Amino acid sequence: MSRFDQWIERRNTDSLKWSCAQNELPMWVADMDFEAAPCIRQAILRRAERGVFGYSVIPDSWAKAYSDWWQARHNLQIERDELIFCTGVIPAISCLVKRLTNCGDKVICQTPVYDIFFHSIENAGRTVLESPLAYRDGKYAVDWEDLEEKLAHPLATLMILCNPHNPVGKIWSKAELARLGDLCAKYGVTVISDEIHCDLTDIGAEYTPFAAASEVCAQNSVTCIAASKAFNMAGLQSAAVFTKNKRLWNIAYRGLNSDEIAEPNSFAVDATVAAFTQGGEWLDELRAYLLQNKRYVADYLRENLPCLHLVEQNATYLLWVDCSAVTDDAEQLCIQIRQKTGLWITAGGQYRGNGKQFVRINVACPLERVKDGMNRLKCGISD
């Protein structure tokens, strides 16, 4: 039995994911139904034992933990002074959008993509310029012609890249990233690379940090990283940004500090240091478990729901399922499934692009729960 088979009761714990009726099964928001790694829980307990929760500074061990992890796991040297603490990837992106663009500018997103990017852009009075991913033969790819056309728009000044990509689960190759970096530099478009899912790749499918794709990419980007997705600690509000460009670093540093999102709560640093210095083995066990769950779903859909197409992916625990053979309105389909079976999954329209005919399913839970989810899905889809 795997530690990830353990059934954790999250109902009535103020969990966002589990704020649902007794008979419902939530497989929506990107939050895992697993306990955090023991090293993280111990670090938090040790910190709690101290019993004093005043203001904290960021110790050098925090930047060292990130730097050593990226060097060892992702083959990228991040200097410690290139990193800036922030309370979350989205707080950082919302801040950077305001600092790196002017009101009315266009920010390019490759849709369908994580919907909160749109909030960060639109709440700041900027507009989203979609460069929809090409979808051919059930697979996603960059539409280079469209991307170049969008980058060339005089009001396009920033692009938010999602690497690996949520919701389509794709790891961009080094060649794709370098090509994208050259194009952005050609048109004077800065890149924010959101790499929050980078440690949740399938075993053997490694991601390339955007900043490692080429010197051009490194010099024209700010990257957002965190332990929060991989180690399931989003509630601890701990993330980092880094850039190798001094001008961009100055802008990010000033912005994050002015927005008051550059200071940690009492547990953020210790938990992150524990994750990156002691959590490697736990993480690899998790990745193997998630792969098993993803394979289960792939087999189940092939055998029981051939009308649905699971988009091939190699990162994240979020599965992107093409429902176009059964509906042109996934929102309605999700409502129907939830009402009929209690299964709560995400309708893809919120991610824009061609998302309207897709659903997103989170499989980061014990396999037994995934099996329950698949049975409910089948029941919800059939008349």
Ligand X SMILES: Cc1ncc(COP(=O)(O)O)c(C=O)c1O
Mark the segment that binds ligand X (CB under 6 A) among 32-40, 87-95, 184-192, 258-266: 87-95
- In terms of CB distance, is 228 or 243 closer to ligand X? 228
Q: Is 261 in the site for ligand X (CB under 6 A)?
A: no
Q: Site for ligand X (CB under 6 A): which residue of 25, 30, 76, 171?
A: 30
Question: Using CA atoms, how far apart are residues 181 and 93, in angstroms rounded to an integer?
Answer: 19
Identify residues 105-164 at the interface with ligand X (CB under 6 A). Answer: 114, 162
Task: Give the Å distances, CA to CA, from 331 to 146, 338, 359, 375.
Answer: 27, 11, 8, 20
- The residues pairing with 322 across neighbouring beta strands, listed in sequence order, are 309, 358
Is 226 a binder of ligand X (CB under 6 A)? yes
Assess 194 for contact with ligand X (CB under 6 A): yes
Alpha-carbon distances, residue 283 vs 34, 50, 165, 202, 230 (angstroms): 12, 28, 19, 11, 7
Smallest separation, CB 234 to ligand X (Å): 5
Cβ 195 to ligand X shortest distance, Å: 9
Residue ranges in the chain assigned as alpha helix (H): 38-50, 60-74, 89-100, 116-122, 144-151, 174-186, 210-213, 215-219, 246-258, 268-278, 280-304, 330-341, 367-381
Nearest approach in angstroms of CB 320 to ligand X is: 13
Cα–Cα distance, 161 to 175 (Å, whole number): 15
Closest CA to 354 of 320, 380, 314, 383: 320
Contact (CB, 8 A) for 210 and 181: yes
Stretches 88-96, 129-137, 209-217, 268-276: which one binds ligand X (CB under 6 A)?
88-96
Binding mask 340-379 for ligand X (x = CB under 6 A): ----------------------------------------
Give the count of beta carbons closer than 10 Å to the beta carbon of residue 224: 23
Closer to ligand X at the Cβ: 201 or 228?
Answer: 228
Residue 38 CB coordination number (10 Å): 13
Span of 35-43, 83-91, 173-181, 185-193 interacting with ligand X by CB under 6 A: 83-91
The CB-of-196 to ligand X minimum distance in angstroms stands at 4
Between 18 and 114, CB nearer to ligand X: 114
Compute the least distance from the CB of residue 380 to ligand X, in Å.
Answer: 24
Choices 71-79, 84-92, 125-133, 246-254 (CB under 6 A): range interacting with ligand X: 84-92
- Other CB atoms within a 10 A radius of the CB of residue 1 amount to 5
The label of the residue with tokens 């369908």 reads 112
Q: Taking the complex as a whole, how short is the minimal distance between the CB of residue 252 and ligand X, in angstroms?
A: 15
- Nearest residue (CB) to ligand X, 165 versus 356: 165
**Is 375 exposed, middle or buried, given 0-12, 13-18 or 19+ CB atoms closer than 10 A?**
middle
CA gyration radius for the chain? 20
Among 32, 43, 90, 96, binds ligand X (CB under 6 A): 90
Applying CB under 6 A, which residues contact ligand X?
30, 88-90, 114, 162, 166, 194, 196, 226, 228, 234, 239
